[in-house]
Structure 1
Amino acid sequence: MMTNPTGRITQGQFSFLPELTDAEITLQIEYGLAKGYAWSVEYTDDPHPRNTYWEMFGMPMFDLKDAAGVLMEVNDCRKAFPSHYIRLMAFDSTRGVESIVMSFIVNRPTNEPGFTLERQEIGGRSMRYTTRGYGADKPETQRY
Structure 2
Amino acid sequence: MSAGTFATPVSGPGFVGWKSNSSNLWPNTYSIEWKKKTVSNGSRIHCMKTWNPINNRKFETLSYLPPLSDDSIAKEIDYMIKKGWIPCLEFDEFGCIHRANSQMPGYYDGRYWTLWKLPMFGCNDSSEVLNEIHECKRTYPNAYIRCLAFDNKRHMQSMAFIIHKPNTTTST
Q: Does 1:62 align with 2:129?
A: no
If the length of structure 2 is used for normalisation, what is the TM-score? 0.61
d(CA) in 1 for partners of 2:124, 2:136: 19
How many residues are treated as equivalent by the alignment? 113
Q: Does 1:90 align with 2:146?
A: no
Structure 1 residues 60 and 3, CA gap change in structure 2 (3 angstroms)? same
Q: Percent identity?
A: 31
- How does 1:122-141 map onto structure 2 within 5 Å? 135-136=171-172
- How does 1:1-144 map onto structure 2 within 5 Å? 1-4=49-52, 7-49=55-97, 51-95=110-154, 97=155, 99-112=156-169, 135-136=171-172
- Deviation, 1:26, is 0.2
- Confirm or deny: 8 A CA contact 1:89 1:104 kept in the other structure: yes
- Deviation, 1:38, is 0.2
- Deviation, 1:52, is 3.1
Match of 1:117 in 2: none
Q: Which has the higher strand share?
A: 1
Higher RCO, 1 or 2 (CA under 8 Å, sep at least 6)? 1
- Confirm or deny: 8 A CA contact 1:43 1:55 kept in the other structure: yes
d(CA) in 1 for partners of 2:70, 2:118: 21
- Confirm or deny: 8 A CA contact 1:9 1:15 kept in the other structure: no
Q: What's the C-alpha RMSD, in Å, of the aligned pairs?
A: 1.8
- Confirm or deny: 8 A CA contact 1:83 1:109 kept in the other structure: yes
5+ residue gaps, structure 2: 1-48, 98-107
Structure 1 residues 79 and 73, CA gap change in structure 2 (3 angstroms)? same
d(CA) in 2 for partners of 1:62, 1:8: 34
- Deviation, 1:8, is 3.4
